Copies of this chain bind each other. A is one copy, B any other.
Amino acid sequence: MTSYQNIEEEAVANWHKNGLRVPLFEVDLGQAVYHGNYFHIFELAREAFLRDMGYPYRRFMDQELHLTVVETTCSYRRPLHYDDLIEVHSRVLWWRRRSLAFSQNIYRLEENNEPSLCTRATLNMVCVKFSGKPTTIPDDFTTLLKAQDIQQIEQA
């Protein structure tokens, strides 16, 4: 895709970028992606983010941990259609001892070759054991977050 500078008042440097095409099975009878299915697209991008960061999600699961989603906000500005060529931008907004938040934006490459911001989401997650009990995020993961200068929020 082309330049994302000056889009939506936010620096795009340091965002992880993941390109894909919108699958047919995510689209509903209104010809746009079903609102609940955008979370599939966000998930694929977070998987790629974590893998590229050197800490694939499976590594959480190998420790019998999940990052469970506890809050989402999603703004659907422009509907995504079947076969749209999109790029998902993802970053960790902040993290605490047991929780973290992702910011994720979906851009579509329009016919004029310019990207347009279509969907914005924030997902708050808590690290839990397979039992569901909240627990501390693994140290070797927070080390990577610190290395990326991601904001750590102090505990209240």
A interface list, Cβ under 8 A from B: 21, 23-25, 27-32, 34-40, 43-44, 47, 56-58, 61, 66, 68-77, 79, 82-83, 123, 130, 132
Contacts and interface: CB of A to CB of B under 8 A. Distances in A.
Nearest to A73: B73
Nearest to A72: B74
B24 A47 contact: yes
A148 B15 CA distance: 43
22 contacts: A21-B47, A23-B43, A23-B47, A24-B28, A24-B43, A24-B47, A24-B57, A25-B28, A27-B28, A29-B31, A29-B82, A30-B66, A30-B68, A32-B132, A36-B40, A58-B83, A69-B76, A71-B73, A71-B76, A72-B72, A72-B76, A73-B74
A70 B121 CA distance: 12
B71 A75 contact: yes
A59 to B, nearest CB: 10
A75 B43 CA distance: 18
| A21, A28, A36, A82, most chain B CB atoms within 10 A | A36
Contacts of A132: 31-32, 79
